[in-house]
Amino acid sequence: MRTRRSVRRAAPAPAALLLAAALALTGCGAGDDTGGSGSAADRGAAAPQADGKAGSREAAPEGAGSGARATAPPKVTASHIIRTASLTVQVKDVPEALEQARTGTENAGGYVGNETTTRDAEGHERTRVVLRVPVEKYEEVLAELEGTGKLLDRSAKAEDVTDQVVDVESRIKTQRASVARIRELMDQAGKLSDVVTLEGELSTRQADLEALLARQKSLKDRTSLATITLSLSETPVKKEAKDDDPGFVDALAGGWNAFVTMLRWLAVAFGAVLPFAAVAALIVLLWVRVVRPRLPRRPAPAPAPAATALGPLPMARPAPEATRPRTPDGQD
């Protein structure tokens, strides 16, 4: 009787116990995955040894009877390397060289990525294109591109990401096992609250799994296809400096260029000031023709009498008559 009651009380598992069980199972799954990978590696390492032993037994009679057995070579883990290269090549005809590069890339099983073409003042073209080729054809395509013209610059880089690839694969296996266990717990859950909690946990782990899968896909693309950035130009990237001094013609050309540049800037300045000058002239014209005639005129003030610093000028007096001697007769 006591046993039945204890069983009945422990039947409904709460959400906390389910999550704890899920986390415990996840940890066990990680250990199982690690142990499984180690056992698989041990099996893989043991297989070549067995083959080596069999081969040594078969090759023993052919030897000189020394009885020595050939040891099997250790198993080499496949390496994952990201290869990138950059080339700058001077060619006679950029479109022709670009078409040749496209054809060689497509024949190797790759494809052409981003492409940029520019033209300088002298009419020479410069093209920059990104090529993606399989790693197996990387050296072959690189040598073919170098032979299209005069090689000006080359740089290559190799990055080993084997550890990252192995780590991502292991985490993906663990995450998939964790998602499967959460789904099993959801099937066993009897309460709605437990189902909601487990659904949130499942959504989080599913998002982590998708992020790991995206990273794995990116690593696979970068390790399976090498990236070559090719720059094609019809003129040298760096021109050699001239040793001779500039002459009269060079000075004349420089002065003419400066004069033309000055005229161009004057024209630009005149064009920038012209709208403001037109508006100002229109305002002055309206003031003179429309506004000013309508304003009331003030009477002109009377002119003040002229005065000097010493006061008003004295009035002119008539000159006295000249005294003449008179005759006794009273005549002058």
pLDDT at 36: 39
Q: Is residue 211 scored above 70 in pLDDT? A: yes
- Mean pLDDT of all residues in 61-83: 55
Residue 112 near residue 120, CB atoms below 8 Å: no
Tens-place pLDDT, residues 88-118: 999 988 999 999 999 999 999 999 988 898 8
The position carrying tokens 């709208």 is 275
Q: Are the C-beta atoms of residues 165 and 32 closer than 8 Å to each other?
A: no
Question: Is the distance from CB of 133 to CB of 225 less than 8 angstroms?
Answer: yes
Instruction: Look at strands 125-134 and 225-233 and give their pairing.
Output: antiparallel
* Mean pLDDT confidence for 13-28: 50
How much is the pLDDT for 300? 62
pTM of the full structure: 0.47
Which pairing describes strands 125-134 and 81-90: parallel, antiparallel, or unpaired? unpaired
> Alpha-carbon distance 108 to 145, whole Å?
12
Distance set, CA 14 to CA 27, 191, 192, 197, 259 (Å): 20, 8, 11, 11, 90
Residue 134 clears pLDDT 80, i.e. is over it: yes
Q: What is the DSSP string of 240-252?
A: PPP-SPP-HHHHH
